[in-house]
Structure 1
Amino acid sequence: MPRTRNVDDPYYGELTIRTDSERGVVEVSGEQVPPVVIQRSPDAEVSEFVPIGTRKADRLTMSVDGAEAGLRPGPGKLTRASYRVDVTLAGTHYRFTPDSDDYTLLKRDGAGIASFGLDTAGKFTVFWQARREDSRPADAAIGYALSVAFRTGALGIFTVLLNGSENVQRP
């Protein structure tokens, strides 16, 4: 079922996030950010553990302001790092990697930009690490889109080992 929510980002104002889990689409837009679209191919095998439905790069497309971006999610297995998502856009490399149980850090060309958290009720918490003048509008749009498409945070390996494998894939 399609869902629309508005987010008030401290750097880039109001953003609109549209999701359609059935079709596998996430769209982020706003007056101060370029539109970002992540879409799952119609023939992709759907996993209930991934909001966009898959972590298979060949079954996903991403565009930023109409330009195609390379999107490569990690496999999402035992370690936090396996839940990373790499994005390449016009020579810029983004990496979205969980850095705690609840938050995921967005880096641009190796530099930390912002940490994104999204709770089960759909409420965002964003901690900008870059100063406003060092951030880019695409940073915000990409971070929000990846947060919704792949979720934020991941359990650490020690938590998984202590609590058992039922925690490997969080619903």
Structure 2
Amino acid sequence: MEHGVGASAVVGVSTRDELFGEVRVTLDAAHGLVTVDGDGLPLVVVRRAAGTGDVDEQMPVGTRDGRRLALAVDGGAVPVSPGRGRLTRRSFRVDVTHAGVRYRLVPDSLTGSRLLRGAERVGELSSDGDGVVVARWVTGAGVRPVEVALGYALAAAFGTGALPMWMLLLDALGDLVPG
């Protein structure tokens, strides 16, 4: 879930979701802000704390430190816990608990991630970290409006996909070789 994002412009994207119609995603990478709303969807906001130093330019929202992030659904605070993003795809996961339900966005390919409700897969999402999110929902999963909004918000804020462990390991080893 590492993607290069220009930190200068605010990007607003409107997408037609297959289940819920228009979904609006706004990404302000410079200020670490993602908002998602749409027809019948709750407003979801992911925000990096103001004055946060050491902004990670590879991450749309600028950090994977959950202490420096706030997530809100229709104005209500929701805990967000991103993984550290190290050697395994699973380490790039993002966990959210809303209304007693645990959601997880976790990479499952180079470019895509799956959204889980508990252990159940509810959707497949992809985003290059530029505010554009493509979502496919699992037929028969009973996908709820809050899940659609959370899926789009997490994908836009953290990007999707990750390299397999062997490629990440080679990259890390390459960093150790003097050049």
TM norm. shorter chain > 0.5: yes
Q: Distance in 2 between matches of 1:146 and 1:17?
A: 11
Aligned to 1:17: 25
CA contact (8 A) 1:36 1:62 kept: yes
- Whether 1:152 aligns to 2:160 is yes
Please tell me the residue identity of whatever aligns with 1:54: T
Unpaired runs of 5+ residues, structure 1, are none
- Give the drift of 1:131: 2.5
CA contact (8 A) 1:28 1:145 kept: yes
Taking the TM superposition and a 5 Å limit, the aligned residue runs for 1:1-171 are 1-45=9-53, 46-119=55-128, 123-131=132-140, 134-161=142-169, 163-165=170-172
- Give the drift of 1:110: 1.6
- Give the drift of 1:77: 0.8
- Give the drift of 1:167: 9.2
**Secondary structure of the residue that 2:146 maps to in structure 1?**
helix
CA contact (8 A) 2:132 2:156 kept: no
Coordinate RMSD, CA, aligned: 2.0
Q: Deviations over 1:40-90 (max 9, x none)?
A: 001222111111001111100001112111100000111100000000112
Identity %: 37
**Secondary structure of the residue that 1:164 maps to in structure 2?**
helix
Seen in structure 2, the aligned counterparts of structure 1 residues 166 and 154 have a Cα distance that, compared at 3 Å, is: farther
